[in-house]
Structure 1
Amino acid sequence: MSEKNELLDELDTLVASKQKLGLNYFLYMLLVLTFIAMFAFPKIYITQQIYFKSRDIAKLKVEYDTLKEENKLISASVESIKFKNQILDTLF
């Protein structure tokens, strides 16, 4: 029975020493998390900015295409009005 107690005591000392987290460990983890945040947050920010800019570009592209089609319709309308005016001028 004493051998079991000795083994349990040794095990307790090993486990107890590993369970203690000191100030150095806390500072080390804080430093690691700070470095991770320094590299992660700029990437997230840049990715978000690229997303918003591409969304704005897509919106402007749709507006450009719409205005281009409107321009074609207006140009065709102007051409038909010019043609009508030329025909009417020659008739009268």
Structure 2
Amino acid sequence: MSDKTELLSELDLVLNPKKDVDVNHLLYVLLGIVFVSIVLFPKIYIQQQIYFKSRDISKLKSEYDTLKEENRLIKGSVESIRFKNQVLDTIF
């Protein structure tokens, strides 16, 4: 029986070799992850800052357009009041 068991265990070792993860392999993987993080972190950070700045700029631009339109309306109103005032002054 022991010969059969020994043959089966050797056959198992040949067909399914054990794949041990050694410290060097683990270290290479960790160094790879750190390297990728160091390379990609600034890119992600800069893209995020650009997004927030562009969002702020878009908000300010919309406020600027609104104020510009209000200024146009107020100028029209002032012109109308000025015209009425001149017409009333000439009548009296």
Aligning the two structures, in what range does the TM-score lie when normalised by the shorter sequence? 0.7 to 0.9
Give the gaps of 5 or more residues in structure 1.
Answer: none
Q: How many matched pairs?
A: 90
- Structure 1 vs Structure 2 CA RMSD: 2.1
Matched, 1:70 2:70: yes
Letter in 1 for 2:17: V
How does the TM-score come out when normalised to structure 1? 0.82
1:55 aligned residue: 55
Task: Find the counterpart in structure 2 of residue 9 from structure 1.
Answer: 10
Normalized against structure 2, the TM-score is what?
0.82
Amino acid at match of 1:86: Q
Residue 21 of structure 1 aligns to a residue whose secondary structure is coil
Distance of 1:40 and 1:6 partners within structure 2: 51
Name the % identity: 58
After TM superposition, the runs of 4+ consecutive aligned structure 1 residues lying more than 6 A away are none
What SS class does the counterpart of residue 17 from structure 2 fall into? helix
Aligned residue for 1:15, secondary structure, equals coil
Provide the C-alpha distance between the structure 2 equivalents of 1:61 and 1:31, rounded to a whole number of angstroms: 45
